[in-house]
Structure 1
């Protein structure tokens, strides 16, 4: 019985896998947003109901950068009620973990312009260097507050100095 060797085109497989993950994440987010709209309106899409509190008025596309890449989600628009999603914060364009990863890159010594290039390569979305600089101001403010906090008690420490040959 001959043995068949299965060969996998690794780059093609990874590309297809990435695409499948992005599509599934987009589908799940869209369903969650629709479920939120159903809850706010008091009725499902196209449902006739006496208890309806608001009406759907279409949707708009919104880009969101997550670990799975850059996604385009459909955010419902409503008549008679304000749609505020618990799934996606208003005006947020990037998932928090993506922003944390970009800040970690900078703190590890990568320049803001290079972080922009890396974010484009990893997630398909740019992080302008000015946006990163604005976020870093807050991080540095937190670091400075921690560094300059009052020390209310004595802390033991060991100070060493030496040369390695």
Structure 2
């Protein structure tokens, strides 16, 4: 009878899980920022419509420190309408739970 022993590297698993959470938080926040910009402009990217209120003018990158680590956000820049996001306060660089 052979005894099979499985060894797990707990530190590696924790690191991989933290990275997975950090990347999914970043993707989710970036999607929310894009959707919010779409709603403000009243049109999606590359969409032409008569109800359009502004235009996209690229984005700028901004770091946000979360409990999972630093996340790079792509904040949309808009022409013709100010972009005030409800997701992240202006000049906020850290999530409330980090402080």
Q: Kindly tell me: are residues 3 and 50 of structure 1, through their superposed partners in 2, closer, same or farther at Cα, counting changes over 3 Å?
A: farther
Runs of 5+ unmatched residues, structure 1 = 100-165
Give the structure with the larger strand fraction: 2
Give the structure with the larger helix fraction: 1
Note if 1:16 corresponds to 2:12: no
- Of structures 1 and 2, the one scoring higher in RCO (CA 8 A, sep 6+) is 2
Distance 1:88 1:70 in 2: 14
Runs of 5+ unmatched residues, structure 2 = none
Match of 2:98, SS state, is: helix
* Structural RMSD (CA): 1.5
* Moved segments of 4+, more than 6 Å: none
Note if 1:31 corresponds to 2:31: yes
Q: Which has the larger radius of gyration?
A: 1
TM-score under structure 2 length normalisation:
0.92
Count of aligned pairs between the two proteins: 99
Distance 1:2 1:76 in 2: 60
